[in-house]
Structure 1
Amino acid sequence: MYNIGDTIIYSSHGLCQIDGISEKTFSGVTKTYYVLHPLNNEKLEISTPVDNKTISTLMAKEEAEEILNLFTQPGVEWIDKGNQRTQGYSLIAKKGDRKELAKVINTLLVKKNELENNDKKFPEQDRKLLISMQSILFSELALALDTTTEDISGRIQHLLGIDGEVLLTNE
């Protein structure tokens, strides 16, 4: 069990800090919950059971280096149908497996670069998904490697051999 003040990874929210631990009752069932907030959104409060399987500890430096190395290999298979792609890739993101997340980001970045080099538009749903996934994984990699998300972005850009900027934002 984690303690108040610990930083953890919580599925699709990424880096979160535990603000409290309390008993809550829903539908007549009482459980112990973590009360936490994403580090990139102090105002959002999340309650999740302490036995939630999508909570994990921060990655070690060795694991971060291993994940970066995945960007030298092919990512996941590209799914041609947009809705199926969004659904499939979102499911991977929700599971919180960092290596699988890196493979999806890899695939999306390579496809984005390929489309833009051919003067085609990267689909908006893919852009939103990529922003969300990058925010989670790049910030965790940066923390594990004691660097910035911009540095992680540059490393991945180099590993993928992409000319343009790979770090997307909501702008």
Structure 2
Amino acid sequence: MEVDYLFQIGDKIIYPMHGAGVIEGIEEKEIQGQTQKYYVIKILMNNMQVLIPIKNVTNLRIRSVENKISMENVLDIVHQGESDRSLSWKQRYQINSDKMRTGKLQEGAEVVRDLTRIQNEKTLNSSEKQMLQNAKKILVGELGLIRGITEVQATDLLKTIING
């Protein structure tokens, strides 16, 4: 029986809320008496390995890394885009949480842009600080994979783009 996999070994992916990774393998494992196939994913930022049941990949919104053109368009939006400063922190936190859950490149980049701009003006609360760190980690990881640069280089590039 031939199985059609969404990803292949070596594919670069984004696992929302965890960051950029690479599919290192596809394994069949028995866990709690149930045998199923898993993607073996190496999450690059913390050098962690995770097993994701293949049947859960779409529900978890795991996606392929975007291409250079998409990344350039998103970075342009980050640089040029406007931030809504009229929202209360609770409203902003809810909107940003929803954006992060989508796993989409542009949504995550907007969170980084907006929270960084606010942080440049005043101190973020601990929840928003944590969200900003996670959003940056994911964006920097994807930027590094697309451009073929290190985490430090990607972080510096992102700072330059956001701060203009």
TM-score with structure 1 length normalisation?
0.74
- Specify the alignment match of 2:141 in structure 1: 139
Give the 3 Å change call, closer, same or farther, for CA 129–32 of structure 1 in structure 2: same
What pairs up with 1:1-171 in 2 under 5 angstroms?
A: 1-23=6-28, 32-50=37-55, 52-53=57-58, 54-75=61-82, 77-78=84-85, 79-82=87-90, 84-115=91-122, 121-161=123-163
Equivalent-residue separation in structure 1 for 2:93 and 2:10 (angstroms) = 34
How many pairs does the alignment contain?
156
One-letter code aligned to 2:75: L
**Deviations, residues 111-150 of structure 1 (Å, cap 9, x unaligned):** 00011xxxxx221111111111101111211221233343
One-letter code aligned to 1:47: I
Structure 1: runs of 5+ lacking an equivalent? 116-120, 163-171
Equivalent-residue separation in structure 2 for 1:105 and 1:89 (angstroms) = 9
Q: Report percent identity of matched pairs.
A: 28
SS at match of 2:41: strand
For the 8 Å contact 1:35–1:48, the answer to whether it is kept is no
Comparing 126-135 with 147-156, greater Cα deviation is found at 147-156
Runs in 1 of length 4+ with deviation above 4 angstroms? 23-31
- Specify the alignment match of 1:169 in structure 2: none
SS at match of 1:12: coil
**Deviations, residues 21-51 of structure 1 (Å, cap 9, x unaligned):** 2346789987543122312233442323256
SS at match of 1:33: strand
Cα root mean square deviation, aligned? 2.8
Give the 3 Å change call, closer, same or farther, for CA 138–161 of structure 1 in structure 2: same
Q: Which has the higher contact order (CA 8 A, sep 6+)?
A: 2
Structure 2: runs of 5+ lacking an equivalent? 1-5
For the 8 Å contact 1:93–1:133, the answer to whether it is kept is yes
